[in-house]
A and B are shown apart, each in its own frame.
Chain A
Amino acid sequence: MSTSFDARRPPQREVLDDCVHCGFCLPTCPTYAVTGTETESPRGRIYLMDLAAQGTIGVDEAFGEHIDSCLGCLACVTACPSGVQYDRLIESVRPQVERNVTRSRADRLFRGLVFALFPYPNRLRVAALGGLVYQRSGLRALVRRLGLLDRLPARLRALESLLPPVTVRALLARTPERTRPPGAARLRVGLLAGCAQRVFFGDVNAATVRVLAAEGCDVLVPRDVQCCGALSVHAGREDEGLARARATIEMFERYRLDVVVANVAGCGSTLKEYGALLADDPAWAERAAAFSATVRDVTELLAELTPQAPRHPVAARVAYHDACHLANAQRVREQPRAVLRAIPGLQLQDVAEAELCCGSAGIYNLVQPVTAEELGQRKAANLEAVAPDVVVTANAGCLLQIRRFLDAGIPVLHPVQLVDASIRGCDPV
């Protein structure tokens, strides 16, 4: 049987065969929810991968389009009763598409721009400062009023509106390299400061450090400029991703840590995947597996640690949004809820269509803006329906995306910010 994939890690036959075409994954797939077409569903994508594996269809633009449009939210993995590892499939097919499909010039430029910007905090910081000027100077309002935005391509428009409200203080804040707990240290914990995260969410990192320290952790934050490679891995830029993985492992190894903590779900899931990603590299396989085993999402760690810092009441109705990379990729659903419920006075609300992605997923909102916008609006409507005081989610991308569509009066926070507020006894917003 001739196949249309190249020889470099094509999707595995056994994994493809696990799919019995039952369709149970359809209702959870955000792209299917929006389009209703089979090719924009997990079942359809797997089917096309299978046809390509058999050589029945080519790995060309028509094929690549349906792979590109996948958010990688992995809701389908959670839904599948047959145990299909769609995560493995999409991760091996994306690089195939990257390598074998010639993209249009505009597409290449835009992708290039995103990858040139996001993984590098300093570049991003400069871009954001530019953005800040743009926001503050009234230029933004002017541009909007003139309707200039409508004339920009949809993708640039998405990039523009994702710029969160930045403050100069947050932008320039750098997290200290070491923060000791008030008493004896229970754990030696490393925090991944993140790249996009470090710039846009200095507040979240600061809160994370305070909470972990209050809970008895010796917190170390490597100062290296380092992206974990999540964005690259999720977009099929495999070599770039693997290089970042090796560098990240090396960086944390220097600190001899008990636990490596991530507070961005997308990064955390990639850190946990290093073991699998580097399994074929004899020099790195073991190191990577050992590293991945120490990784926890911050809410996971907080749920494991018996609280020692007293919590003050935070009277708020909270709508918790499951970030796909936390709920589906890391299967962390209960822990963040438990951590939030432990805050006295806090009321956690159930949200309709909770399993549906908000449309952010990595850089999806940048490269597939129309679908992402529809999903963002749908998510915002579901969240607003429970009249929350605060919306909480544990991923930078989700935070940005939801903030873009949600009623401006409702703040969007990271769960750790609420815990921080509760421990410090101050207003979270």
Chain B
Amino acid sequence: MDRVALQAELVAALGADAVLTDPVSLRAYECDGLTGYRVVPACVVLPRDTAQVAAAVRVCARNGVPFVARGAGTGLSGGALPVADGVVISLQRLRAVVSVDPVNRRAVVEPGVTNLDISRAVAAHGLYFAPDPSSQQVCTIGGNVAENSGGAHCLKYGFTVHHIHEIEVVLPDGTVTTLGGPAPHQGGYDLLGAFIGSEGTLGIVTRITVKLLPRPAAVQTLVADFPSVEQAGDTVTAIVAAGIVPAAVEMMDALAIEAVEAAVSAGYSRDTAAALIVELDGPPAEVTAQFAEVERLCHEHGTTKVHVAPTPEARAAVWKGRKAAFAAVGRISPNYFVQDGVVPRTRLAEALTRIGELADEAGLRVANVFHAGDGNLHPLVLYSEARGEHERAEHLSSSIAELCVDLGGSLSGEHGIGTDKACSMPRQYDDADLATMTLLRRAFDPDDVCNPGKLLPTPRLCGERPGPHRPHPLEAAGLIERI
């Protein structure tokens, strides 16, 4: 469709202050947290409410123009990458906490509210929203629903999908519906569950009823240093085998610790090979009993130092360090890729050894930060654009994702498939699996206008035999730029 006509139609529907058309503004939306892919959209709209979102989607649907929802743009798989000649629908002006129901422990919020602001808004009632992605201070709840985001505390509490009661959705044809319900046990297929994690491909979430949890009565956190990543990994297995479900079990290797200390001086030991963070929460007596056992298990597996966070402030410092880890790597390397893969917990040590070997072969460094409790790895591949290491780094990063699948795991634990891994999906799923997933997509979006090209591989983007290392055909076609 003619760009100018499209812009005019959107201005007519939403008002001029909700539509960005100048080329400079559009450039600022050309990528999300994954800057390797860039596409300039035809137009960006910033609706203020559900009706405006629906109006924008209807304009798109009527004209067959693809659209992409965008939250805070922190996604790390290119999920919010614009589609060429398409519209970006930013949810940054839907930021209201609509209501809080402390008795039933839930809140109704708009999609642009940040994950952390939900917890802030309900803190006075002793409640919080449990999923805690490291980006929680900035990522939106709409993005969390789209990505089924998780965080350090998901080991005990589950992911976003376990914490949503109901969503209001603008479907790809511009109609508005709700999935789930205020009450549990809604009849029929669990469309709410299927929608969560669909990466913006099934519709745009405009209102969310989140489940809130009471703040745990007690929390205890320790950081244990280990002389090797393997020993730290074995400790995790031992903790779980002892029947303990910690709130969180996180691990960082030496390189990651170096970056974190450079960024926020959180008090991690700089001279250790691996640091394990274990947090227990729950009823005080339960926590005390299990915490002693965790400490014992750390010592049994050769910890060199156990540091127990003595105060809430000290605990906050531990987490601040851990949560700043990705961005902090910017302090020790000019460029880096964040990888996100999952292996069965028991194969963690094997995975790390293999990653080390792959890194050596490539002559690059890899910092490891991960959710050890559920086997979710975040290898950070460090490289220098200036030294021309981009391609090698990208190759290494993809090899690591494939390694995870080969070890019986998954391409992604929380960052999603998006643009980045769409062409790798065939590594994990066969044609029939992907065709069946497409059935679901078409039930919601028969005309393929809602975030097309993401999540599932398409022949146009991935060629006949999809694989992760070939140049993206969008690049070849000059539609996207990769640095």
Contacts and interface: CB of A to CB of B under 8 A. Distances in A.
Interface of A: 17-24, 26-27, 36-39, 44, 47-48, 51, 56-57, 62-63, 66, 80-84
B27 interface: yes
29 contacts: A21-B31, A21-B32, A21-B35, A22-B33, A22-B138, A23-B138, A24-B135, A24-B138, A26-B72, A36-B112, A37-B28, A38-B25, A38-B90, A39-B20, A39-B25, A39-B28, A48-B24, A56-B27, A57-B23, A57-B24, A62-B22, A63-B24, A80-B327, A81-B328, A81-B330, A82-B327, A82-B328, A83-B262, A83-B331
B56 to A, nearest CB: 15
Contacts of B328: 81-82
Given A21-B31, A83-B262, 7 more contacts: A17-B385, A18-B330, A22-B135, A27-B137, A36-B46, A38-B90, A62-B23
Contacts of A47: 27-28
Interface in B11-58: 20, 22-25, 27-29, 31-33, 35, 46
Contacts of A56: 27
A23 B28 contact: no
A23 B75 CA distance: 10
Contacts of A26: 72, 138
Contacts of B334: 17
B138 A37 contact: no
B376 interface: no
Contacts of A62: 22-25
A314 B335 CA distance: 53
Contact of A23 (B20, B22, B23, B74): B74
Q: Is the interface of A mostly helix, strand, loop or mixed?
A: loop
| Interface size range of chain B in the complex | 35 or more
Interface in B218-240: none
A20 B330 CA distance: 7
Contacts of B74: 22-23
From A22, A56, A57, residue with most partner B Cβ within 10 Å: A22
Nearest to B91: A36
B28 A48 contact: yes
B200 interface: no
A19 B28 CA distance: 14
B245 interface: no
A37 B22 CA distance: 13
B266 to A, nearest CB: 11
Interface of B: 20, 22-25, 27-29, 31-33, 35, 46, 72-74, 90, 92-93, 95, 112, 114, 117, 135, 137-139, 262-264, 324, 326-331, 334-336, 385
B391 to A, nearest CB: 18
A38 B73 contact: yes
B369 to A, nearest CB: 13
Nearest to B73: A23
A24 B139 CA distance: 9
A365 B239 CA distance: 57
A368 to B, nearest CB: 16
Contacts of A18: 330
A285 B127 CA distance: 54
A83 B72 CA distance: 20
A56 B24 CA distance: 10
B27 A48 contact: yes
A23 B24 contact: no
A37 B331 contact: no
Contacts of B29: 38
Contact of A83 (B28, B137, B263, B385): B263
Nearest to B385: A17
Contact of B331 (A21, A51, A82): A82
Contacts of B324: 24, 81
Contacts of B32: 21
A21 B24 contact: no
A23 B25 contact: no
B258 to A, nearest CB: 14
B263 A82 contact: yes
B92 A24 contact: no
From B29, B72, B117, B385, residue with most partner A Cβ within 10 Å: B72
A351 to B, nearest CB: 13
A21 B27 contact: no
B92 A37 contact: yes
A83 B135 CA distance: 16
A20 B327 contact: yes
Contacts of B335: 17
Contacts of B385: 17
A22 B326 contact: yes
A84 B327 CA distance: 10
Contacts of A80: 327
B86 to A, nearest CB: 16
Contacts of A84: 330
A106 B114 CA distance: 39
Instruction: List 6 A-B pairs, minimum CB-CB distance, nearest first.
Output: A36-B92, A82-B330, A81-B324, A81-B327, A38-B28, A62-B24
B211 to A, nearest CB: 23
A49 to B, nearest CB: 11
B137 A44 contact: no
Contacts of A83: 262-263, 330-331
A22 B46 contact: no
